[in-house]
Structure 1
């Protein structure tokens, strides 16, 4: 046990150690140049953690390992629950059926495509394939973190998935402003999009929440309805992570039963933290908590997520990546093409249907 009498001191020291790294990641993310790129402290945290894992980890007391593990497991679940304070059901209603359907279609198709390509075509293991797919289909690094305990995946597999989110999410930030000029300038035709349509497209296809915010901000004279639509559609995708994880838990239980890997019956894996996440979003929708308090809660939650990501990075040794080759890159690249091209087509068709 992490807080048993013999482990308590090492656990607390390990948690403090992770918190120091997370604080450094937060300060780096607050630098203007880094903030302009839309790089979240979560991403910086895992980079710092990986640096530590492959350079300095032998110089830290092994007793601290329980605290690092606690940060990557228990603190992670707690932080995912309180992520619900970033969402209200009213915001989802405001974007309308078009935004909801684009979110649902892109999440489902991207996750299925990425999982299938990674596992069946590019011969990755099932956990890495699904983690990579969850990052692209839902909300980047936070989705990878939320999916990891359901799959019971190793930390280095999580790091692979996050690295793909960082790579293709960063490419998106430079690509989408170029696409904006290409779809806004034509007055008519299939390539033309209104600012609101483009906002739905951005929110439905870009990986990270921070990147969705950064894209409209990088376009000069961005219409307000475009920026608002992008963020709301993105947050709709975020809240869908809870039902996705529940369905994933059911699927894993069925697969275990089919293969006969669980003796004496199969226990259904329900990610309760995902259920609590929906409950927290519902509570936030009642607007009982003042906005300034919610803002503080979200800042603390971001720091806890950064701690979890840093802790996962600290368990990532490069030697564990042997054998993966370019498979993660191929899988993430295929999903990226689907998000950019398929997402555009889906957005146009859905908006035309529900407008």
Structure 2
């Protein structure tokens, strides 16, 4: 699948040959889909046992563990491929129901300007440094998106808009897991040394940390009113996913130019899942949806994204990370420091 490095014993194509010569039929999707959804349920169960632990993080780690522990049957591959792409996009659409635009606007234009600066500086700065480090454009963009917007979901959402290798997606997701998990402990510890108000601490946490669930964990550690503010700032960063994917689609079309043969598929200008994401956010804003509906949408979103993260985790291999070398890790460290510095400086100025 795109964004996932297949196991040696897994069939790459979505079709398999039967015993009859020159006969081909599509392999069923349900075995791989069920496997990913089952892993997602396990991740949700672990999250219930350990409050504050991200089900998405658990699902990624489960995928990595399974990829190294067992040889998956080739019959699972088609469903795994669908989980890593289509279930992910459905989950991102449902993520829009977490975004009440009026709540984000209530943060104030100064805070919103800092959020835009965090995402913009994180993207541009990381791509430029990635180029200086000798990384490919695609790998730099994926790392920049994951660290600047919303972690693994942003990596997987952006990968369809840029030219990249399968290994680039897995490497970027692995980096988000490593650095984002470290940030859960580091950010609250550093902020505890300051005399900043809890609201400002929440802003800095929401502006610095990569995944939504990681922000929730860090905000809970900080305590008080920091959690609600941190989540709102983080969701404002998530909202930037739509314009970023759209701009990347435009740039990729311009870059392709005349090189795209007549009738060939161009990179999508505005992917359908981005339209759905914005529509869900707009619906949440203008329609008073019952809490039961919002809770169900949230649960389904976490389930679908966890299934997708498990599928993507299956493509993360230690040997692949060793082959990638130290440069992606250097870029991940730089992106973390850059995003944190812009967020801290900006929120101190507007506080």
Q: Normalising by structure 1, what TM-score?
A: 0.85
Q: Gaps (5+ residues) in structure 1?
A: 185-192
CA distance in 1, matches of 2:64, 2:228: 35
**Alignment of structure 1 residues 81-230 onto 2, 5 Å:** 81-118=93-130, 120-151=131-162, 153-184=164-195, 193-219=196-222, 222-224=223-225, 226-230=226-230
User: Residue 70 of structure 1 is aligned with which of 72, 82, 87?
Assistant: 82
CA distance in 2, matches of 1:126, 1:343: 25
CA distance in 2, matches of 1:230, 1:302: 19
SS at match of 1:100: helix
How has the CA–CA distance of structure 1 residues 55 and 312 changed in structure 2, closer, same or farther, with 3 Å as cutoff? same
Q: How far is 1:69 from its partner?
A: 0.8
SS at match of 2:325: coil
How has the CA–CA distance of structure 1 residues 17 and 263 changed in structure 2, closer, same or farther, with 3 Å as cutoff? same
CA distance in 2, matches of 1:178, 1:46: 25
Q: How far is 1:319 from its partner?
A: 4.1
Count residues in correspondence: 330
Moved over 3 A (4+): 1-6, 152-156, 264-268, 315-323
User: Residue 263 of structure 1 is aligned with which of 261, 264, 271?
Assistant: 261
* Residues 73 and 149, structure 1, Cα contact 8 Å, conserved in 2: no
Q: How far is 1:41 from its partner?
A: 1.6
CA distance in 1, matches of 2:151, 2:165: 18
> Is 2:98 aligned against 1:79?
no
**Alignment of structure 1 residues 12-51 onto 2, 5 Å:** 12-32=30-50, 35-36=51-52, 39-51=53-65
Show the counterpart of 2:279.
279
Q: How far is 1:85 from its partner?
A: 0.8
CA distance in 2, matches of 1:45, 1:149: 22
SS at match of 2:210: coil
Give the superposed CA RMSD: 2.4
User: Which structure features the higher share of helix residues?
Assistant: 1
Q: How far is 1:133 from its partner?
A: 1.0
Q: Normalising by structure 2, what TM-score?
A: 0.86
Q: How far is 1:264 from its partner?
A: 3.9
